[in-house]
Amino acid sequence: MHNLNTFYIGGEWVKPADGFSLADIVNPATEAVIGTVAMGGAADVDRAVTAARDAFASWSKSSREERLALLRRIAVGYKARIGEIAEAISTEIGAPLWLCREYQAPMGLVQIQSAIAALEAFDFVTVSGTTQVVREPVGVAALITPWNWPINQIAAKVAPALAAGCTVVLKPSEIAPLDARIFAEIVHDAGAPAGVFNMLFGTGPAVGAALSRHQGVDMVSITGSTRAGVDVAMQAAPTVKRVAQELGGKSPNVILDDADLKAAVSAGVVSCMLNSGQTCTAPTRMLVPRAQYQAAIAIAQATAQALTVGDPASPDSKLGPSSNRAQYERVQRMIETGIREGARVVAGGPGRPDGLAQGFYNRPTVFADVSNDMTIAREEIFGPVLSMIPYDDEAEAIRIANDTPYGLAAYVWSGDPARARRVAGDLRAGSVQINGAKMDFTAPFGGYKASGNGREFGAYGLAEFLEYKSVAGCAASA
């Protein structure tokens, strides 16, 4: 049993304030309770923010070399425990162990290394005319992270915040606390000064809201649903603090008529379904030329039906369960909604896969005959559900792709690189991947519209945690 009943505050593991409760940690593959996690409140937030504020005076004045040394020690500690992190993530969210070993856990290390590289080269002092322009840490940063790619988002916020000279209070998802606990131990063992890094668990309405409205917090960075991001922004508004949001998505996958149809469709299905569809950038709307639509449906159907769903520990399982009961039930409701609104199920459908009577497993589902005004094409489902939408010409494809409240990611497939780049330029999204290109963790990541604001990764993520200061009259000494 995993009993996570302490918080990391001021360089120590401490008991929560009086009145705390315990939440169950549930293995989504078996529905078994595997431990408990303490749920904090406003008093715990006060204590953590106070520790971070006390540490900010010295850490904000630390040298580049001191920050690099700490981040490098964290990277060493992370490498030593990367296998343990992978197993923790698989246990707590049900992701296949192979996925956790190859992607989930390694991505956290990539984020730390990216922050180190950014800090090594970052120019904190520049000159504009007769003015010295200085980049300084924004202050105490509250970091609110999700359960779907948990360690990636923890590292993507903590590492650049520390690199910038901020002190932090981390609130990881209570659904995925095991990897967060390991990360906190790594930071402690790396010798982070007391109060520079703090971590506590709790719900969004309790701990997340208390951090967002706290006078002692200078910035909130949240990755989560658009609903959660809006709530954080509203809570933060009276104190006029900075809010960075990486939120939901309903990403279009535009397959042009000159693309390799089989490669594009099959890759799109796998990308949509990966991590049980619990990826904010998942290409959940597949836009296909009408003349190729029936052929694309057949490819998508075969691809989805070949995806094995099962025990996360089995190397044969391509997909595991949804990460929690509430998410499983939402996916089931959305599949039923798609059927009710007239979309045609060509793979999957309601219920669990055959042979899986227990666990939060969904069937990889492909809908054909989807129009872009259907609920399944408008709302983020966060499950292994793909909507296939036909279009008549390139202009219509771009219009449908942009007809969404979201703008986190988009995808383009074409046999003509120049055409693909031109279409990418017309898509209103923070990142566009062409012909299956891999994500670059040094490039800025973030969204347009309801997908949030601000950017993460590399130097762009570091910059989010900095303020500008103009010092006139001393440019010659810069």
CATH number, domain 2-247+451-477: 3.40.605.10
Q: In the annotation, is 474 catalytic?
A: no
Looking at the chain, the domain(s) classified CATH 3.40.309.10 span 252-440
State the DSSP H helix or E strand holding residue 33, giving kind and residue range, or none if neither: strand 32-39
Q: Do the Cβ atoms of 26 and 174 come closer than 8 Å?
A: no
Structure tokens at 401: 């792709």
Q: What is the pTM assigned to this prediction?
A: 0.97
- Assigned CATH topology for domain 252-440: Aldehyde Dehydrogenase; Chain A, domain 2 (3.40.309)
Tell me the per-residue pLDDT of 271-318, one tens digit each, with 9 for 90 and over. 999 999 999 999 999 999 999 999 999 999 999 999 999 999 999 999
Asked whether residue 467 carries a pLDDT value surpassing 70, the answer given is: yes
As separate numbers, helices (DSSP H) first and strands (DSSP E) second, the chain gives 16, 23
How far apart are alpha carbons 94 and 106 in whole angstroms?
Answer: 17
Of the listed 92, 246, 380, 464, which one is catalytic?
246
Instruction: Express each pLDDT in 189-211 by its tens digit.
Output: 999 999 999 999 999 999 999 99
Tens of pLDDT, residues 436-457:
999 999 999 999 999 999 999 9
100 classed as catalytic: no
Stretch 97-125: mean pLDDT, rounded? 98
**Averaged confidence pLDDT in the chain:** 97
Per residue in 126-183, pLDDT (tens digit) is 999 999 999 999 999 999 999 999 999 999 999 999 999 999 999 999 999 999 999 9
Q: Which of 323, 301, 52 is nearest to 192 (CA)?
A: 52
CATH 3.40.605.10 spans which residues of the chain?
2-247+451-477
In the set 280, 380, 456, 464, the catalytic residue is 280
Order of strands, sheet of 242-246, starting from the edge strand that comes earlier in the sequence: 12-14, 7-9, 197-199, 167-171, 140-144, 219-223, 242-246, 452-453
